Structure 1
Amino acid sequence: MHVLILGGTMEARRLAELLTAGTGLRVTTSLAGRVAAPRLPPGEVRVGGFGGVEGLAGWLREHEVDALIDATHPFAGRISFNAAKAAAATHVALLALRRPGWVPVAGDDWHEVRSLEGAAEVLPTLGRRVFLTTGRMGLAAFAALEDLWFLVRSVDAPEPPHPPRMEVLLDRGPFTLDGEREVLSRHRIDVVVTKDSGGAATVPKLTAAREAGLPVVVVRRPPVPEGVPVVTGPEQAVGWIAEQTGLPDACRNLT
């Protein structure tokens, strides 16, 4: 049995670990290649795009994939829709693995928007010193905000276009609450921008912002393609694979 994981997340790595733990499965994780030094999961790894729907469908056929797991970042929308179309074309079972989104709690001052462009529109009304934690992709949406100062945190250095007044903080999660408090204080941040990525690795920034009474602009995540089943954890994904492909008891025990 061959399982292809569209990865790049902690959940994808954990799923690869579970599926390669003596199950006898062939497990391949595909990484987009946008990070210079990614953390490689166990099993086979391929790096780079597939070339759209047709390219992915061809890869599924050529490598005789039995199950496809879309465990990409919640905001990697294009590959998710390509996966849905390719899976339908090749009759390969498809599952989306998505960590739960964040939910505001008492004391949060959230401003939810639908896109990075929407975030750029509301920012001037909320603050002047922005902690931008949406990664290095999409900075063009903020390039026209010449009166605002940005602290941009990303794994790799961003490329233009980007905001003219900007400092880059190269770092990779998980982050600590004390560390996030220090970042907000040292850079005199008065507004935070984040995507609703979910998970625990980057949630301390939300806690630190709440403690400091800062507004947070939250970009809503795009929907999963219609008709694709969704689970929220790697263990659930293993259970789904077992049901779909009749995997051995060794795999079922992992759930």
Structure 2
Amino acid sequence: MLVDVMMPFYGDFTHFRQALLSVLHQRHRDFRVTVVDDCYPDDAPWRWAESLGDDRVRYLRNDTNLGVNANVRRCVDLVTADYFVVMGCDDAMYPGYLSRVVELAGIYPRAAVIAPGVQVIDGTGLVRRPLVDRAKHLLAPKEKTVLSGQDLAVSVLRGNWTYFPSLLWRTEAVRAVGESGFRPGLDVVLDLALLLDLTVDGGALVYDPRVVFSYRRHAASVGSVPAVDGGRFAEESEFFAAAARRCAGLGWSRAERAAKMHLTSRLHHGLARVRAVGRG
């Protein structure tokens, strides 16, 4: 099974090297990796990627800086394989990551999303589990499971326990819910928005707790920077209000309540305020 590994890039060069090498060291060899450079300030990453001499690696550079959302959507537009991953340029695959998610996709061929177990690391590569990730762990299913319909909507709206860069998406399902699959204007919750779109469209998510992916959480990550000035929570509040109205229209009362409460987002917001006060 061919997998397109899409890597939107604008970040730490060292992390980028580790991320790309982790893809090239996969035991499952049937993949292509496309790096989409969002106007990084110098050409060192491109020159390094070219020096690898691996014809499975394609390095593209945007003419102008698109920002997180638009660059992710460009990545999805470039996908031609039946399955794809939008991997963070600071994350890392275990050598068996692609083997495992491809195996699960074969077992559940109509699933829209495969979500594997994830280990969280910090900027230096040390294993961490900050409060937000402890909450994700508590919210995630405890064993391999298949979720769909209102049950899936309730699960991810209560608290999005998935890790976007680790997810394997079925291309046909993503394309069916929109031109590119990701809504313009969303940076922090674009993956949750797509999960909800797929759920409403009848898609299923397969979760497997076996850890095969390292997600890097650090001060410069996409989710962390907007939390400093509150932009993250403004985006989340607007999204959850719209999600509640949507679920109400479907008659999904449990999912509507979960969206209205969005408890984990509120708790994260409160914690960020406390930390901001502590920093003066």
Tell whether the structures are fold-level matches, with TM greater than 0.5: no
Q: Compute the TM-score of the two structures, normalised by the length of structure 2.
A: 0.28
Give the structure with the higher percent helix.
Answer: 2
